[in-house]
Amino acid sequence: MELALLILVSIIFLFLNHFLFKAHRLPPGPNSLHILSYLSQLVYKPHRALQKLSQMYGPLMSFRLGDQLMVVASSPETAKEFCQTHDRMFSGRHLPTVYNNLPGTMHSSIAMAPECSKSWKLLRSIGQSCVFSSKAMEMSVWIRKAKVNDLVNHLKPREGQVADLEDLIFATLANITSTSLTSRDLFNIEGQGKDDYKVMLRWVNEVIEKTMTLGVVDFLPILKSVDFWSKRKAMDICCKIKRTWGGIIDERKSMRIENEVQVTEDFLDIVLSNSTFSEDQIGNTLMELLIGATDSSTITTVWLIVELIRNQDMLSKVRHELENVVDGDELNEALLTECRYFHACIKETLRLHVPAPMLVPHRALETCKVNDYVIPNDSVVLVNAWAIARDPNYWEDATNFKPERFLDSKVGYRGTHFEYLPFGTGLRMCPGSNVAFKNIQMLVGTLLHYFDWSLPNGANPTTIDMGEKYLTTLKKAKPLLLIPKLRN
């Protein structure tokens, strides 16, 4: 139904386009009829569809979906224009309509704040001091170690049984994140019934899907007055956020009032101490930080394990490095920095399987000129990081998994090299890139240290299905089902 409406809207704007927008010298791009032929691909595989279109129209192109102008950057040079040269002008966010119906969302977001407002700066600074800074990461070493050990202890008695590794990785990363934010586990991996981690996992995944999916109303604002669907989505999201975080927030508030325990000074304590934020806003922020720190890291961890299992020679090299950083029977996180080949494998996974292939959409805060083209105010700007990371002009054998390319390379993941943007760049870059890298290396390193992994029914690892599923992030389409076997 939504796809049919979008087709109808695009046909209408095909006839209006010339008269409404001829005054602007917009970047070249496909007309509405051409976009119609790509519409299904733009919905389900936009990174691939936009890569094909950029090969026809150039690395800076524009087109319309409904009445929304979309501008796409598909090269390091054009990405730099939007994310460095004119960074502040394009630092806005284009949000799904559902956000307008979530109480307090506009002032309780780091990733999705419409602009770099005072509340955005405050939340980002609190997150920096509590979670993202070098000092905070050093203080949370024990958290990563404890939660990863919980996963190992969960798998040991299940040796020889098929494990849905993606779900377990998600739950482990979520507990690392929730403990860093609130000093509490969010998931009970060993639980049953209402506390089963799979129940919580389903709630979180539903929030991810409903908050990040664009609908017809996002491209046709005239329908907002009758958009009951987005309002229902928002009500459901609010309910799940409260069920996830409400009890934790209420418990902490009671403790603070009764002064029963010493204040922990974690993220939750600090935002509760600041009268700027309501309980709804705190819940929204906690959910956003959980999703941001967990979803993309889970995706990268799964793809990394898949690539190593498919390439046994590379797996052997990683294990050889890990043998040198064992402290007793456990990995020493401080020594993991010496595992150059392992780090190269993580970086190559982030290149070949960019977690968010289109990054988070930017929005023009004012009309701006880029490469002699006019980019009007409120234009949506997409950076196709997936296409850039597979550009043969910058990457040899761009579609192959080759960790060696990073061994002697100065290209890093912190957004200063525009041919490689796994965490974005500029003002709206993901603030948790270093945390994500540490979580991934500790989790994958430990799983490879303790277990050998095989496919059910003795299948050949090279037969693993590499299909993708796009939902703002790019995850493995089919579950990663593997059998653990304890190593000597």
Q: Which residues are annotated as a binding site for heme?
A: 430
Instruction: Return the closest-CA partner of residue 138 out of 282, 410, 415, 334.
Output: 334
Q: Helix 46-57 to helix 32-44 angle, to the nearest 10 degrees?
A: 150
Long-range contact list for 234-243, CB < 8 A, 24+ apart?
A: 234/98, 234/101, 234/102, 235/101, 236/206, 236/210, 237/98, 237/102, 237/207, 237/210, 237/211, 238/102, 238/103, 238/280, 240/203, 240/204, 240/206, 240/207, 241/207, 241/283, 241/284, 241/287, 242/283, 243/203
Instruction: Return the H-helix or E-strand segment holding 65.
Output: strand 60-65
Amino acid at 130: C
CB within 8 Å of 20: residues ≥ 6 apart = none
Q: Which two tokens stand for residue 357?
A: 């292939």
Residues annotated within the binding site are 430
H-type alpha helices, 45-105: 46-57, 76-80
Q: Which two tokens stand for residue 408?
A: 């002697």
Instruction: Return the closest-CA partner of residue 312 out of 161, 452, 165, 444.
Output: 452
Give yes or no for a contact between 288 and 109, defined as CB atoms under 8 angstroms apart.
Answer: yes
The dihedral through the CA atoms of 8, 10, 15, 20 has a sign that is positive
Instruction: Give phi and psi for 369, each to the nearest 5.
Output: -105, 125
CA distance 378 to 71: 11
**Percent of the chain as helix, strand, coil, to the nearest 5:** 60, 10, 30
Residue-wise DSSP of 169-183: HHHHHHHHHHHHHHS
Instruction: Return the closest-CA partner of residue 427 out of 142, 85, 39.
Output: 85
